[in-house]
């Protein structure tokens, strides 16, 4: 039977690339996103759009109820924010970050796990989970996604459901569009590849973790960052 994947944040960027990658290998894919206009562009070729706010528990449960059984869930919906030092991060911005990045991942993982027979849950974290200045709320939300991933992997392993995270370095998507040219140049210098990678690079990592062989990997964080996370070397 044709496997079915639900990809959140599937209207654009990494999520869209994941949806297209899985559809290209013959999967039926539901791309869920709160951006209805952007979703219209992904419909077709094995991808069905669904308007969804991942932080809305009732809406997530209702969507999963009306979809065919899920083999794979990719939690890719996420938000970033203006870079700010800790002293300037508003409480509301911190809470919103956790509500979407962590809360959305938790809600869909829970609703999926309640209904899935076997399969894989793949959470898009960020290399930033290891730390970084100017985005404490983003870093905290992604570190929490990694914690959630590990906890769920332990709980769900006996049911044949693997749970892993992919932690990308800088990826060429709308999320980095807001950077000033100076900031983009500064951040690009930290990337071993010299700049952002295409979303398709992350989609390949997700496709591996979604595959039968990839599901033997469990509770791991796959850093796809060209080695940026290894630190700097003065040569
Ligand atoms: N671009 C990068 O450099 C980078 C690096 C590391 C991790 N990430 C992570 O990758 C994921 C995808 O980001 P992207 O770079 O493709 O950005 P993007 O902005 O292109 O895509 C994010 C998508 O998530 C959707 N979304 C946001 N909040 C939502 C909600 N509440 N409900 C449903 N959909 C929602 C947006 O509408 C958008 O389509 C995010 O979790 C992000 O944190 C991105």
When pLDDT is averaged across residues 54-65 and rounded to a whole number, the result is 98
Residue 178 has pLDDT above 90, yes or no: no
Residue 54 CA, closest ligand 1 atom number: 32
Residues 135, 225, 152, 35, Cα dihedral to 10°: 60
Residue 82 has pLDDT above 90, yes or no: no
Pick the CATH number of 4-225 from 3.50.50.60, 2.150.10.10, 3.40.50.720, 3.30.420.40: 3.40.50.720
> What pLDDT, on the 0 to 100 scale, is given for residue 81?
83
98, 141 contact by CB (below 8 A): yes
Phi, psi (deg, nearest 5) at residue 162: -90, 150
Phi, psi (deg, nearest 5) at residue 219: 75, 20
Predicted model pTM: 0.97
Q: Cα(1) to centroid of ligand 1, in Å?
A: 30
Residue 232 has pLDDT above 70, yes or no: no
Cβ count near 188 (within 10 Å): 15
> What pLDDT, on the 0 to 100 scale, is given for residue 235?
65
- Residue found by looking up tokens 């509500």 in the block: 99
Write down the mean pLDDT value for the chain: 96
Residue 83 has pLDDT above 80, yes or no: yes
> What pLDDT, on the 0 to 100 scale, is given for residue 78?
98
> What pLDDT, on the 0 to 100 scale, is given for residue 106?
98
Ligand 1 contact, 172 CB (< 6 A):
no
Question: Among 51, 57, 75, 78, which residue has the most ligand 1 atoms within 8 Å of its CB, making it the best to mutate?
Answer: 78
When pLDDT is averaged across residues 186-200 and rounded to a whole number, the result is 94
Rounded Cα–Cα distance for residues 124 and 112 (Å): 16
Helix or strand or coil: residue 178? coil
């Amino acid at each position: 039977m044709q496997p079915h994947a639900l990809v959140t944040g599937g209207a654009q960027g990494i999520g869209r690339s994941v949806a297209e990658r899985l559809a290209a290998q013959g999967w039926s894919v539901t791309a869920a996103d709160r951006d209805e206009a952007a979703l219209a562009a992904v419909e077709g070729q094995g991808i069905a759009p669904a308007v969804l706010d991942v932080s809305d528990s009732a809406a997530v449960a209702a969507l999963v109820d009306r979809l065919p059984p899920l083999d794979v869930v990719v939690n890719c919906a996420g938000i970033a924010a203006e870079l700010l030092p800790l002293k300037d991060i508003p409480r509301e911005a911190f809470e919103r970050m956790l509500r979407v990045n962590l809360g959305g991942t938790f809600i869909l993982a829970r609703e999926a796990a309640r209904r899935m027979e076997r399969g894989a849950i793949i959470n898009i974290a960020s290399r930033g989970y290891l730390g970084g200045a100017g985005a404490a709320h983003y870093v905290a939300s992604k570190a929490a996604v990694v914690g959630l991933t590990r906890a769920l992997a332990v709980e769900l392993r006996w049911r044949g459901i693997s749970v892993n995270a992919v932690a990308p370095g800088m990826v060429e998507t709308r999320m980095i569009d807001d950077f000033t040219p100076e900031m983009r140049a500064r951040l690009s210098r930290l990337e071993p590849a010299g700049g952002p990678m295409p979303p398709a690079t992350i989609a390949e990592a997700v496709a591996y973790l979604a595959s039968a062989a990839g599901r033997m990997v469990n509770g791991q964080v796959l850093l796809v960052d060209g080695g940026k996370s290894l630190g700097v070397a003065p040569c």
